[in-house]
């Protein structure tokens, strides 16, 4: 289809993914994001949502979640509905206290390059969803940075990450993401904002969507 060709051969679309390192539905959506990149060469900007500031202030009325133990069944449901590998037992074994440290860590990796930001976010998702690691802990964040450096020597510096983690630039970058999420009134993760660069026509897709629905959204935006 014409829109598919345009996406493949140009930078016709601006795509922003509103997400969070502790969002199980975002992890289930990751294969779609990867397909957009690899097959359609779409560049994606990631905006951290800060889903969980602390359990003291967290209450999801829709899912009836206000304590760590109540998050386990939500992750179990996501696993059963999507087939994604998700370790829901972390909420019983070693529940993360907040997603803020991981969000700041993503922005820290982003200081080195957008590509490293994306790759670090993937490692965070994999660490907590698949390997059951508590990504609210600094030592886990540093271990993931070291793993990224090992996998991509010369492209990422774990030492720079360690120095910059939590510095003003990274905190400000995360704060800017939170402001954007608030401005866009994003209430569900993942959410995908598709904007045609030529016309400014935009469409917000919320929730975990199959690739066909995302492509239809792209066609609608590009052909409007």
What digits encode the pLDDT tens for the residues 35-94? 999 988 899 999 999 999 999 988 887 788 889 999 999 999 999 999 999 999 999 999
* Cα 128-132-133 angle, rounded to 5 deg: 65
* Cα–Cα distance list, 167 to 36, 96, 219 (Å): 32, 22, 41
Region 212-218 average pLDDT: 95
Q: Quick one: CA dihedral 216, 192, 112, 23, positive or negative?
A: negative
- 28: tokens are 């289930």
| HEC letters along 32-71 | HHHHHHHHHCCCEEEEECCCCCCCCCCCECCCCECCHHHH
Region 132-149 average pLDDT: 98
- 173: tokens are 């970058």
**Is the N-terminal amide bond of 166 cis, ω within 30° of 0?**
no
* pLDDT computed for residue 8 by the predictor: 53
Q: Which domains does the chain have, with CATH numbers?
A: 2-222 (3.40.30.10)
- 147: tokens are 């793993």
- Among residues 212, 68, 65, 218, the alpha carbon closest in space to that of 136 is found at 68
Hey, is 10 helix, strand or coil? coil
- 191: tokens are 């959410």
Higher pLDDT, 45 or 6: 45
* Cα–Cα distance list, 160 to 119, 137, 141, 145, 167 (Å): 16, 18, 13, 10, 11
- 176: tokens are 């800017």
Hey, is 129 helix, strand or coil? helix
* pLDDT computed for residue 63 by the predictor: 80
Would the pTM count as exceeding 0.85? yes
Q: What is the spatial distance between Cα 113 and Cα 132, in angstroms, rounded to a whole number?
A: 27
* pLDDT computed for residue 2 by the predictor: 45
Region 160-170 average pLDDT: 97
What digits encode the pLDDT tens for the residues 113-122? 999 999 999 9
* pLDDT computed for residue 40 by the predictor: 86
């Amino acid at each position: 289809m014409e829109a598919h060709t345009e996406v493949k051969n140009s930078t016709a679309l601006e795509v922003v993914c509103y997400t969070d390192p502790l969002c199980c539905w975002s992890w289930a959506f990751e294969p779609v994001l990867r397909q957009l990149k690899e097959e359609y060469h779409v560049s994606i900007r990631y905006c951290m949502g800060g889903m969980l500031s602390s359990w003291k202030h967290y209450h999801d009325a829709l899912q009836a979640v206000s304590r760590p133990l109540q998050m386990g069944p939500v992750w179990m449901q996501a696993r059963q509905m999507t087939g994604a590998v998700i370790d829901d037992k972390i909420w019983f074994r070693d529940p993360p206290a907040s997603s803020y440290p991981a969000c700041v860590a993503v922005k820290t990796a982003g200081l080195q390059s957008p590509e490293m930001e994306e790759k670090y976010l993937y490692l965070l998702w994999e660490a907590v969803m698949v390997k059951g690691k508590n990504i609210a802990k600094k030592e886990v964040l540093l271990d993931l940075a070291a793993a990224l450096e090992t996998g991509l020597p010369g492209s990422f510096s774990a030492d720079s990450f360690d120095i910059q983690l939590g510095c003003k630039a990274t905190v400000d970058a995360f704060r800017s993401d939170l402001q954007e999420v608030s401005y866009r009134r994003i209430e569900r993760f993942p959410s995908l904002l598709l904007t045609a660069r030529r016309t400014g026509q935009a469409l917000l897709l919320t929730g975990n969507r199959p690739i066909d629905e995302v492509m239809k959204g792209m066609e609608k935006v590009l052909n409007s």
